[in-house]
Amino acid sequence: MFIIDAHLDLSMNALEWNRDLTRPLSELNQRENGLSDKPDRAKATVSLPELRKGKIGLVVATQIARYVAPDNPLPGWHSPAQAWAQTQGQLAWYKAMEEAGEMVQVNDLASLEKQLALWNDGASAHNKPIGYILSLEGADSIVTIDHLERAYDYGLRAVGPAHYGPGRYAQGTDATGQMGEKGRELLKEMERLNIILDATHLCDDSFWEALDNFNGHVWASHNNCRALVNHNRQYSDEMIKALIDRGAVIGAALDAWMMVPGWVRGQSTPKGMNCNLEVMVNHIDHICQIAGNANHVGMGTDLDGAFGREQCPYDLETIADLQKVPGLLKKRGYTDADIENMMHGNWLRFLRKAWGTSINPRHGRGL
């Protein structure tokens, strides 16, 4: 079955983890044997060949670079300009993948339909490019509001204003507080450019302010349920209901600490915590029960988000194992139509609606 994954940090893995994602996954992991600078060394689950093997022909792929003030203990860049430069290096990697025929940017209805036609032509996916929709995880690197249109021009189509901690435009995971004037200005420009708001990582205060001040299209690329894992990174039922009311789709994430309660980083193991793909289905089912249908959830795995097999479901060796999910959903009583929607159809419906909106980004702000 064709799958869309709404959150992968491909460029971060390529550049910061120094992984040649065009190579077979076994080769990537073998080359990292003995390395210990990252907790997921030799445990990677994502490469471009594995995406093809799993029939994952379209992904939302990120740029990410955090700015940190002097009193912020999180890792990051010491100026917004440095963060912007980091995202431009990531963009250069995506462009290099396009030039090599490994990937293709999807940024409007025409390119979306072209990619779908290619992946549904009945031919082998072995040499087909992976389509990617460019998203920015955390907006700290947007040096000025004018930089957002520059980013739109090179293909940026979704923005999550925050990541972890305090941000320049919004407050993220483990932080509190409002977006403020700069954040609301960012939202206004995103709305003008028809850039999708990714509500993932927004702290509760910023989440509600964003929904109150943004009239464009909203999704949550990778988020699970607070009712099942009680942490501010997850969505409360009230937040899930608000997203459903906005027509959002929520991507189910496969980071183990977001899937099972009580996970201790560096100590817990997937088998020890009984973390498998059935647990992801529990989160999916919780969202569907709130919605009363299966129209507001999809895949948003984050499987290359600074973790690997040490911190993902024990019955997943590579991202290609997402092909196990339809069978698990079938066992829960979901119809074939429901399953197709959750594996790709909901994201497609969302994108067709969002990109069917007529805009002219060249119109000046406030006109």
CATH number at residue 317: 3.20.20.140
d(CA 44, CA 62): 17
Tell me: the pLDDT tens digits for 164-192? 999 999 999 999 999 999 999 999 999 99
Mean per-residue pLDDT, 300-324: 97
According to the model, what pLDDT value does residue 169 have?
A: 98
Mean per-residue pLDDT, 282-293: 98
Does the pLDDT at position 357 exceed 90? no
- With respect to residue 277, please indicate whether it lies within any of the assigned structural domains: yes
According to the model, what pLDDT value does residue 362 have?
A: 43
> How many Å is the Cα radius of gyration of the chain?
19
Structural domains of the chain, count:
1
Single-letter amino acid code for the residue at 131: G
According to the model, what pLDDT value does residue 137 have?
A: 98
The answer to whether the beta carbons of residues 206 and 183 sit under 8 Å apart is: yes
- With respect to residue 361, please indicate whether it lies within any of the assigned structural domains: no
Q: Which contacts (CB < 8 Å, 24+ apart) does range 280-284 have?
A: 280/252, 280/254, 280/313, 280/325, 281/325, 281/328, 281/329, 281/332, 282/228, 283/224, 283/225, 283/228, 283/252, 283/259, 284/252, 284/329, 284/342
Does the pLDDT at position 95 exceed 70? yes
Does the pLDDT at position 96 exceed 80? yes
The answer to whether the beta carbons of residues 56 and 5 sit under 8 Å apart is: yes
- With respect to residue 190, please indicate whether it lies within any of the assigned structural domains: yes
Tell me: the pLDDT tens digits for 61-85? 999 999 999 999 999 999 999 999 9
Question: Residue 367's pLDDT band (boundaries 50, 70, 90)?
Answer: very low
- At residue 53's C-alpha, the angle toward residues 48 and 56, to 5°, is 70
Question: Residue 276's pLDDT band (boundaries 50, 70, 90)?
Answer: very high
- With respect to residue 63, please indicate whether it lies within any of the assigned structural domains: yes
pTM: 0.96
- With respect to residue 44, please indicate whether it lies within any of the assigned structural domains: yes
- With respect to residue 90, please indicate whether it lies within any of the assigned structural domains: yes
Tokens of 8: 């992968």
Mean per-residue pLDDT, 142-146: 98
The answer to whether the beta carbons of residues 287 and 342 sit under 8 Å apart is: no
Structural domain boundaries, residue 284: 3-356
Q: Tell me the average pLDDT of the chain.
A: 96
- With respect to residue 362, please indicate whether it lies within any of the assigned structural domains: no
According to the model, what pLDDT value does residue 46 have?
A: 98
What is the helix (H) or strand (E) element at residue 123, kind and residue range? none
Does the pLDDT at position 32 exceed 80? yes
- With respect to residue 363, please indicate whether it lies within any of the assigned structural domains: no
Most distant CA pair in the chain, distance: 58
The answer to whether the beta carbons of residues 219 and 199 sit under 8 Å apart is: yes
Mean per-residue pLDDT, 138-165: 98
